[in-house]
Amino acid sequence: MTENWSLSLTNEKADAARFASWIEALSADADLSKKNAFDLRLFFDEVLGNLYGYGFADGRAHQIEVKVDCDRSYIRAEVTDDGALFDPTIIGRRARPKTADEVTVGGWGIELIRKIADDLEYERVAGWNVLRMRFRRHRDSIDA
């Protein structure tokens, strides 16, 4: 059986505040393991953080749609927005810093998403960015 959840947001930062309670409620509702809940939130945080920070520079109102569906094996997450074309999957890989001097303040969002995702795909559909991620579901008893 597949369960699904969705949330519509605008690009107003005040509207983004609804995300936190939505993802917490969803994680409880879906009985996600601690790790799955954290990773799901991490995916969305990285994508939404980028959108709210840089995705809408034209000063206009924009829409963001956030979706999750879960079955026994997988969790699928999707973010759709009507901002400028942006495909994060083509951003080059970066290596973990080996020394303190190599540590940089930014640029880790997509790498953290890649770490979580078993599958990650992007497409541009009728003026909308669509980013989809899938990762394996596991139980807390397996996590231990």
Q: Taking CB under 8 A as the rule, does residue 109 contact another protein?
A: yes
Q: Which range, of 3-11, 79-87, 106-114, 134-142, touches another protein by CB under 8 A?
A: 106-114
Q: Taking CB under 8 A as the rule, does residue 141 contact another protein?
A: no
CA distance 128 to 121: 14
In the window 67-86, what residues touch another protein (CB under 8 A)? none
CA distance 44 to 68: 10
Q: Which range, of 1-9, 58-66, 110-118, 134-142, touches another protein by CB under 8 A?
A: 110-118
Among 6, 21, 29, 108, binds another protein (CB under 8 A): 108
Number of residues near another protein (by CB under 8 A): 32
Q: What is the DSSP string of 36-92?
A: HHHHHHHHHHHHHHHIIIII-TTSS--EEEEEEEE-SSEEEEEEEE-SS---GGGSP
CA distance 136 to 74: 4
Which residues contact another protein (rule: CB under 8 A)? 13, 16-17, 19-20, 34-35, 38-39, 41-42, 45-46, 48-49, 52-53, 96-100, 102-106, 108-109, 111-112, 115
